[in-house]
Amino acid sequence: MKKFIALICSVLLITVLAACGGGSDSSSGEGSESASGGDGEVKTIKAGIGLNSDHPQYKGLLKFKEIVEEKTDGAIKVETYHSGQLGDDRTMTEALQLGTQEVTIPSTAPLANFVPEFSVFDIPFLFPNEEVADKVLAGDTAQGLLDKLEEQNLVGLSYWENGFRDLTNSKHEVATVEDFEGLKIRTMENDLHLDAFKALGANPTPMAFTELFTALQQGTVDGQENPYATIYLQKFYEVQDYVSNTHHIYSPFVFLMSKSFYDGLSEEQQKIVKDAAVEAGKYEKKLNREANEKYLKQLQEEGMTYTEITPEARQEMVDAVQPVIEEYKSKIGEETVDKIYEEVEKAQK
Ligand code: KDG
């Protein structure tokens, strides 16, 4: 009996000690007042993305890890996952809301399912070039959209770059609007993308990025659209023969953190993760632009046929999607759409 009572007492003691702290629960941040946490507690950030480990996005994530672990003296540890090991853009964003994952960096397109105004970046042919995209993403509207994420239990720490999206397919060259006719195109999970491709005459299917390579390989879809860096680094050239510089949408990424995790950090730690997300984002953008520049040539070396879209043909595409843009103005929010167009115009002056 004595032995039994002693056993019960030690179990109780262990339970009380555990409740008083000492665990490495990544979501508990109470009581830590400095960057190093002060109480010796190590918080863990599980960070996952859909692209693979060769992509600039993953290299940017490693930069984030390096900065955060160094600046917090190891009090915050960052575990990195790529290639959809933790899920796709939507499921990882949901995991952040639930607090079971701390960081992900989705394209803004699937994020519009959480904050519809993000679809403003899905307006086809909105940005004429990267310089304009940079200015607008640093402007009031884009920064205001990051604030809106809080209502969804998410914190948007910075914009990164996915880039201008270009069309690939396995059927034929795409040079004009007519060439889209009947092509089965995978799009991101976003209604505006779907309707824009329908307006161009294609037959679009929304699908998570994690399923895309197999769908292209098995012919479930004929084509897809992504920046050159993704087309090359994900080896889509193995299952796609044609690439055109449609540049129809510029995709930003948003560096997202789970709000419950962020709220549990000390103020100093919050500043460190925020600054690191901005700094690592600059690094990612630089690598991404270098990659997009060099990979079109390499795609051709891998055997893809490249088709240049003439200004006239691009204008026909712009005209074809115009009714869709009109239709979506009220869905996105007239004010947001008007403001973004103003900012795009101002950025070109
Ligand atoms: O890591 C980001 C990817 O999951 C995704 O956003 C890539 O552009 C993309 C796509 O087509 O799904």
Instruction: Render pLDDT for 184-231 as a digit per residue (tens, 0 to 9).
Output: 999 999 999 999 999 999 999 999 999 999 999 999 999 999 999 999
Calculate what percentage of the chain has a pLDDT beyond 70. 89
Calculate what percentage of the chain has a pLDDT beyond 90. 88
Q: For residue 39, how far is its CA from the centre of ligand 1 (angstroms)?
A: 38
Distance of CA 147 to the CA centre of its chain: 16
Backbone angles phi, psi at 218, to 5 degrees: -85, -5
Q: For residue 269, how far is its CA from the centre of ligand 1 (angstroms)?
A: 28
Lowest mean pLDDT across 34-48, 133-147, 196-210: 34-48
**Of 85, 104, 105, 107, which is best to mutate to test ligand 1, by the most ligand atoms within 8 angstroms of its C-beta?**
107
Helices assigned H by DSSP within the chain: 2-19, 56-71, 89-98, 108-111, 130-137, 140-148, 191-199, 212-218, 228-233, 259-263, 267-301, 311-332, 334-347
From the CB of 48, is ligand 1 less than 6 Å away?
no
Which atom of ligand 1 sits closest to the CA of residue 227?
A: 8
CB 257 within 8 A of CB 325: no
pLDDT band at residue 34 using 50, 70 and 90 as cut-offs: low
CA nearest ligand 1 atom 12, residue: 209
The pLDDT assigned to 180 comes to 98
CA angle 126, 128, 129 (to 5 degrees): 125
**pLDDT, tens digit, 9 for 90 and up, residues 264-299:** 999 999 999 999 999 999 999 999 999 998 999 999
From the CB of 89, is ligand 1 less than 6 Å away?
yes
From the CB of 49, is ligand 1 less than 6 Å away?
yes
CB 252 within 8 A of CB 159: yes
Q: For residue 330, how far is its CA from the centre of ligand 1 (angstroms)?
A: 26
Region 152-167: mean pLDDT is 98
Could you give the domains of the chain?
Answer: 44-347 (3.40.190.170)
- Burial (CB < 10 A; 0-12, 13-18, 19+), residue 6, is exposed
